[in-house]
Chain A
Amino acid sequence: MVKAEGVHKSFGHVEVLKGIDLEVAPREVMCIVGPSGSGKSTFLRCINHLERINAGRLWVNGHLVGYREKGGRLHELRDAEVAAQRRDIGMVFQRFNLFPHMTALENVVEAPVQVKGVGRAEARERGVALLERVGLADRVHNYPNQLSGGQQQRVAIARALAMEPQLMLFDEPTSALDPELVGEVLDVMRGLAADGMTMVVVTHEMGFAREVGDTLVFMDDGVIVESGDPRSVLTDPQHERTRAFLSKVL
């Protein structure tokens, strides 16, 4: 589903990603952990081309992200083509980024109607069903500022799901939440994983990674230090850096 080969990314002179190689299989849940500044969010943003990579190759569903290879050269994709690639990739942000001028339902309906051309009535029906699925049937007509952080994040998940993505990216989805609200968001994500959604989750929730994740990737300083089965990585880390990090967060 996702394949990265030697992905490099620099902001000016600062090299944030120093060669990332990994592969995410369909229906796999991959959790990426690591200290802040390790490049895990940047890598996630590269997957749907919110950031442009400087070297290496990145494929989603067999398609090169952001480029077309023709005659041995890479050609940048036009905006419309990039937008088309993003349709199949849902993204959930740390700070929700809900559209504040729209109700929960309007947030969910917006992209299917505007991007996919789904009829308004049909989109609303599906939107209500999605909001029910994330447990917000009674908050359909609320604006984001009338919702708690956990509710907002669940609307954001419903909004991403409305595009029927094949892959979901989560960028620290619970980091901006009050502790007692983390659980409700993780529950929704757990449900998604159980339904077979392919997910890449940047997170600090080690419990979630252990319980739901198929793979755990530990990143530090722009490289993957260690990866493997979450239970074995968390209980028996092979590298000193992993051990040092885990001793601080567990």
Chain B
Amino acid sequence: MSVDQSTPPAPPEQIRAVPVRHPGRWIATAVIAVLAAMFIHMLATNPVFQWDFMVDNMFSDPVLRGARTTLIMTVLAMAIGILLGIVLAVMRLSANPVVSGAAWVYIWFFRAIPRIVLLFFSASLGALYSTYELGFPFDQQLMDLFGFEGDWRFLSLDGNDIFRGFVAGLLGLALSEGAYAAEIVRAGIQSVDPGQAEAAQALGMSRGKTMRRIVLPQAMRVIIPPMGNETIAMLKDTSLLIAVPVTNELNFQLRAIGSRTFQVIPMAVASILWYLALASLLMIGQHFLEKRFSRGFGNRETRQQRAARRARDVGSTH
């Protein structure tokens, strides 16, 4: 910074070279412009699109309720799926072969089954047993063995009541998501330098704290981008809820209007626009999450640092 001011050096002559020409880029631009114009022309002139009809109907009450169900289902299924995934990932990395094996079997099973099959099955659990009871395992067998009557059960639920509609759908989607999330979380955990866990343990931190405070926050950087993919995939997969069936869901409601009014194309376009909008919303959320967990990895100045630097700058001018 301390350049000798008495003899200012002559500024170097700036280079003014002829830039390389890129005719290919101009040709590509022209082709794309023409294609885009053709596309817009089609949208504007084909009467089948029925834009007025679409706008009038894509925000009707049932559609809005459907959009709400779709969003809530996406968020809940992802939340449960990610929690399940963290547990499964930690199990998978366990030194205990039975625990690790159990997680492997879960992941193997739920990754293999199509979601629509899972949804259909979870909706049919009421047919498997009509009541679901919580209690001591093998209680009746044990009681029989010792010559007692009765059972040790404290909670009884009607299978047909529980496993239908929203709950059945949530169960199927969340269990399926758990398997995918587990693999993503495992990759994230394994991407963290083992020296980090060592340093935490050398400070006397327990395994659980080391995982929660040190390893997982760093794993998040690796976890979030694929988890964003998963969330958008989940948003779209809520349209599979028809297998349960859950009918107050976005895609079903839009299609229902389309078939009732024989305006299939406008409502299909409305569906596309709705999913685009909702996915964009989720992408905004992802952006902020990525920013939050990239702390300490970019070269961005933190708020305190900016304040400290300004204070220094102000101080040094006096």
Contact = CB atoms under 8 A, between A and B. Distances in A.
A45 to B, nearest CB: 9
A140 to B, nearest CB: 8
A138 interface: yes
B305 A142 contact: yes
A114 B205 contact: yes
A144 interface: yes
B295 A101 contact: yes
B199 A93 contact: yes
Interface stretch (B10-18, B35-43, B44-52, B213-221): B213-221
Binding site of B, secondary structure by majority: helix, strand, loop or mixed? helix
A146 B300 CA distance: 9
Contacts of B295: 101, 143
Nearest to A141: B304
A48 B200 CA distance: 12
Interface residues on B, range: 20 to 34
Contacts of B217: 101
B302 A115 contact: no
B317 to A, nearest CB: 17
Contacts of A90: 202
A114 B209 contact: yes
Given A93-B198, A101-B217, A86 B297 contact: no
A97 B302 contact: no
B205 A141 contact: no
A86 B200 CA distance: 10
A101 B193 CA distance: 13
B293 interface: yes
A100 B195 contact: no
A34 B217 CA distance: 38
B242 to A, nearest CB: 42
A102 interface: yes
A31 to B, nearest CB: 20
Nearest to A85: B204
A145 B301 CA distance: 11
A89 B304 contact: no
Given A114-B209, A142-B305, A143-B295, A99 B204 contact: no
B305 A99 contact: no
Nearest to B193: A97
A138 B204 contact: no
A138 B198 CA distance: 28
Given A83-B205, A111-B203, A141-B304, A97 B296 contact: no
A101 B214 CA distance: 8
A167 to B, nearest CB: 12
B33 to A, nearest CB: 43
A83 B206 CA distance: 6
A91 interface: yes
B202 A48 contact: yes
Interface of B: 193, 195-196, 198-207, 209, 213-214, 217-218, 293, 295-297, 299, 302, 304-305, 308, 312
10 contacts: A50-B198, A50-B201, A79-B206, A83-B205, A93-B202, A99-B218, A101-B296, A103-B302, A115-B203, A146-B305
Interface of A: 48, 50, 79-80, 83-84, 86-87, 89-91, 93, 95, 97-103, 110-111, 114-115, 138, 141-146, 159-160, 163
Given A93-B198, A114-B205, 4 more contacts: A101-B297, A141-B308, A142-B305, A163-B203
